[in-house]
Structure 1
């Protein structure tokens, strides 16, 4: 997609640098989910497990239409953002999912569209999903049995539904990946998840827990990733560390050409000026790695700081102004003046 920015005196440097460092644009289509994973941060909204326990704590109401979402997406892609992820909640529960994903703007070879899903509804929506311009589907697989699924996601859905959803995704898309949050409840199944991925030649990420206010009560469940690292070293000597770009560094293993990532805090993170005086910096293990656009018309550069969320609803009637407004917001965030 050609870069066509408004001809103004605005400095686009901070936004362009973020894009050049492989920063993500995450479009949250809904906060709703049919699982209640205890660790969920819901892209900065109120997570389903918290709502389940506290009925007065409701996520934000949807303010964006499909047209709004596509206008914002197109404008920010024209401003240089190339790695687009569609998230939730569970994005396939959103009424925006089909009209948005079915009308994605054309893009060049250096831009990707990824759907992040829990896999439960992929088979249900397979007919129209197969016609979309998605480049990749990433399935969150934090469990490998009905028992661990219940313990982690507090759902009556069976693991067979999720595994079938993964197969449905593989029938439609060349690239299907898994991500697994390493935790005490699935520690005994990590090798099984890895074998499942390798047998199907699917890349998989093993990820350390990111602390948020909502999952603070279950810190006992957080474990390190050294165990899976040690196991991977028995399977391959092809290992390297990647610390370029934004977000947490990752340890990359390759087994028969399949990439296995391990993401953990010891490899560092990318912070910006606003982070210097941030009251929650010591809790932050990610830094500034994604720009989140939510269903309620917000743009947020930081998961842990809801006060940094920008309201773009007043600009939805003039979407051509949104990229410049976001660029100013990111500049202020980067320079520590927000």
Structure 2
């Protein structure tokens, strides 16, 4: 694998998550407070032209994979036309999107035509009342319709579930059945202590507990780790009988900081070297001035700011909706 941007502690970064908006039509319990967060004005966030210039610069620095997030990216007008332009001008990038799925149905065919390398849809419950409780504003029906439309047009769909004790931890069998019926990969994610306003220690479920709770647990066997570009932080298990795969992301209990290959860039142009670290470096002036030299310099410096591990940073109040997850 080609290395990418040189970082601290012998790591190289070739994967960047870019938030296109801080706005969202949900208020998920693990992401933001019930009242939401102050939103940025249109003038304060990166334009699509800014993001395209940023992507071209990242490509020149050795970045191979981009994931576009929010907030909820489909809240932003013309997001899909932007992706189409990006694909046209930078066809060598691996491009993925993370969404809550509620607004994707009208765009599913065009997303399929783009041949995206990944479309991750958050699905935290299959029970309408629970789904509304976890997301506060979400309608499960619209998300299921979005998933169905995506599955009809793309083979790159994944489902992401943040497991929370007392909220959805008893739904693992149903979620596995749903994913198998749809022919998509389910990934289970640990609730992360990112923001004291939303963190509930009693709701934490470790990946070890998730594995212990697998139905027919003796049939699930771990796969060998992959060093592919798209492997990401998941550890995968496969069911010996059905062949179904399951991804588990243990950012807390078995963190993967030593092999983390990513940067995050917020919608207002701040480069965050670690999800948990409130420190960042702004590239907005360099973007607006179209100054490649200053942009490269700032991104390279941010990469070297990357801490050895998230457990060693001085954390503050970081809303995941602002950072892009």
TM-score, normalised to structure 1's length? 0.77
Whether 1:263 and 2:257 are equivalent positions in the alignment is no
Q: CA shift at 1:303, angstroms? A: 1.9
Question: Residue 275 of structure 2: SS of its match in structure 1?
Answer: coil
Deviation readout 1:115-169 (Å, 9 max, x if unpaired) = 10011001133354344352221101111111111110111x4312111100111
Report the Cα distance in structure 1 between the residues aligned to 2:281 and 2:55, rounded to whole angstroms: 16
Question: Residue 184 of structure 2: SS of its match in structure 1?
Answer: coil
Partner of 1:202: 184
Whether 1:234 and 2:217 are equivalent positions in the alignment is yes
Whether 1:31 and 2:10 are equivalent positions in the alignment is no
Partner of 2:271: 299
Report the Cα distance in structure 2 between the residues aligned to 1:244 and 1:135, rounded to whole angstroms: 16
Whether 1:170 and 2:156 are equivalent positions in the alignment is no
Deviation readout 1:246-274 (Å, 9 max, x if unpaired) = 99964321134442112224434325xxx
Question: Residue 267 of structure 1: SS of its match in structure 2?
Answer: coil
CA contact 2:46–2:269 (8 Å) conserved in 1: yes
Report the Cα distance in structure 1 between the residues aligned to 2:116 and 2:235, rounded to whole angstroms: 26
Partner of 2:12: 18
Report the Cα distance in structure 1 between the residues aligned to 2:130 and 2:75, rounded to whole angstroms: 23
Does 138-147 or 229-238 show the bigger shift? Answer: 229-238
Task: Return 5+ residue gaps in structure 2 as ranges.
Answer: 310-325
Q: Which structure carries more helix by proportion?
A: 1
TM-score, normalised to structure 2's length? 0.79
Whether 1:326 and 2:299 are equivalent positions in the alignment is yes
Does 252-261 or 214-223 show the bigger shift? Answer: 214-223
Whether 1:290 and 2:262 are equivalent positions in the alignment is yes
CA contact 1:102–1:131 (8 Å) conserved in 2: no
Deviation readout 1:191-215 (Å, 9 max, x if unpaired) = 1111111122211111111102244
CA contact 1:291–1:299 (8 Å) conserved in 2: yes
CA contact 1:66–1:100 (8 Å) conserved in 2: yes
Partner of 1:253: 237
Relative CO higher for 1 or 2, CA cutoff 8 Å, sep ≥ 6?
2
Correspondent of 2:38 among 17, 38, 58: 58
Partner of 1:122: 104
Report the Cα distance in structure 2 between the residues aligned to 1:17 and 1:250, rounded to whole angstroms: 18
1:45-194 equivalences under 5 Å are 47=32, 49=33, 51-52=35-36, 57-61=37-41, 62-95=44-77, 97-104=79-86, 105-108=89-92, 111-155=93-137, 157-184=138-165, 185-194=167-176
How many residues matched?
296
Report the Cα distance in structure 2 between the residues aligned to 1:295 and 1:132, rounded to whole angstroms: 23
Whether 1:315 and 2:306 are equivalent positions in the alignment is no
Question: Residue 103 of structure 1: SS of its match in structure 2?
Answer: helix
Q: CA shift at 1:236, angstroms? A: 2.5
Question: Residue 246 of structure 2: SS of its match in structure 1?
Answer: strand
